Amino acid sequence: MKNEKKKILFGEFVTGAALTRALEMGPEAVVTEVKASNLRGRGGAGFPTGLKWELTAKQESDEKFVICNADEGEPGTFKDRLLLMEQPEKVLEGMAIAGVAIGAKQGFIYLRGEYVYLKKELEEAISSMEDRGFLGSRINGGDFSFSVEIRLGAGAYVCGEEFALISSMNGYRGEPRNKPPYPSEAGYRDKPTVVNNVETLCYIPYIVTKGAQWFKEHGTRASTGTKLFSVSGDVKHPGVYELELGITVNQLLAEVGGEGAKSVQVGGASGLNVAEKDFDQPICFEGLPPGGSIIVFGHQRDMLHVLKNFMEFFVEESCGQCTPCREGNYRLLEGVRMLEKGECSVRYLKELEALCDVMKDSSKCGLGQTSPNAFLSIVENFKTEILYR
């Protein structure tokens, strides 16, 4: 990994310290601290973590669950994998603290099917922490117990969506559900459930020990903290970078050796394609949505080819439930094929852009709501290149 600025996530860490602190603080104080930190979910959607915890903590139920979403499937992301490989105890401790906060005794890591090779190491980390009294029953000799099990995905991108994930864990097809009710009310086995991304959970031990104020010193006002970026494509130094939220595309490119790029895909296939004219935009929740994936395209890249690649991905990965996503992505891919052959009229391209708007507006889940982003932004940025081939 190229990146010497190990700001937070790869910094000093003593297993168990944050959990001990959280147990001393008690659930309400933990929730308050996480809320105060303004930490937002690092899976892509950016929902405030503290609020999610608060909503789940408020529910009355005999059982609650913490799920670590390790179904890292966005094209171009590999940051969670690094955390799971190098910092499993941090992930597990974050889960245990979530358990303290919401009153859950059971956690699950929903591990991407392709990451099956990490399963053994994660299980070893779990039993090692159990042996040392950081997981399992009566942690620190107190009343709090928390155990973690691993569940494997089977290769569906959509199972990164929290309800598809829960559905898959419940033994059904991995398909998103209508909301409300939200997982905080009825999630795994219809019990209140918190679903947090791997990276999100890794910030928790630091927020608990160092405090919300310290965390807020990083990032911007609305996007506090740092963020892991999986950088790939036409750059000198691909890899995982921990950078401040609010960094501009230009700054990021300078960091990774990607100067002179034609465009940058921020946030993976479901994110936005950013052209050179917008390289001064900041990457944060109030700017370019900060998904974990940064794919850099050099000037030799054919953007229609890039778009086709993305659309093929979505056609394959849509769960196929709702009309706009099932049929819409297919129509967009067909449109790209027409463009390739020079058979797409300007009028039909407009029709497809309108389709994109409807997909964003009426799809059932985040997949269909974001899959047109690549189409819209690439067509807008490179209309001439795409239409007049």
Chain residues binding other proteins by CB under 8 A are 156, 158, 173, 178, 180-181, 314-324, 326-331, 334, 351, 354-355, 357-358, 360-364, 369
Rounded alpha-carbon distances, angstroms, from residue 24 to 14, 30, 39, 207, 229: 17, 10, 21, 15, 33
Nearer CB in complex with other proteins: 141/180: 180
Q: DSSP characters for 167-185?
A: HHHTTS------SSSPTTT
Least spacing, CB of residue 163 vs other proteins, in Å: 12
Distance from C-alpha of 185 to C-alpha of 35, rounded to nearest angstrom:
19
Q: How far is the CB of 384 from other proteins (least distance, A)?
A: 25
State in angstroms the smallest separation of the CB of 333 from other proteins: 8
Compare residues 276 and 312 and give the one whose CB is closer to other proteins: 312
197 burial (CB, 10 Å; 0-12 / 13-18 / 19+) is buried
Comparing CB distances to other proteins, the nearer of 114 and 334 is 334
Cβ proximity to other proteins: between 59 and 362 the closer is 362
CA separation for the pair 381, 371 (Å, rounded) = 17
**Cβ of residue 119: shortest distance to other proteins, in angstroms?**
24
Q: Which is nearer to other proteins, 156 or 275 (CB)?
A: 156
CA distance 311 to 326: 12
At which residue do the structure tokens 């921020």 appear? Answer: 266
DSSP conformation class of 155: S
Query: In what helix (H) or strand (E) does residue 197 lie, and over which residues does it extend?
Result: strand 193-197
Nearest CB to other proteins, comparing residues 47 and 279: 47
Show the tokens assigned to 79.
Answer: 């940051």
CB of 172 to other proteins, least distance (A): 10
At its nearest, how many Å lie between other proteins and the CB of residue 364? 6
Rg (CA), the chain: 21
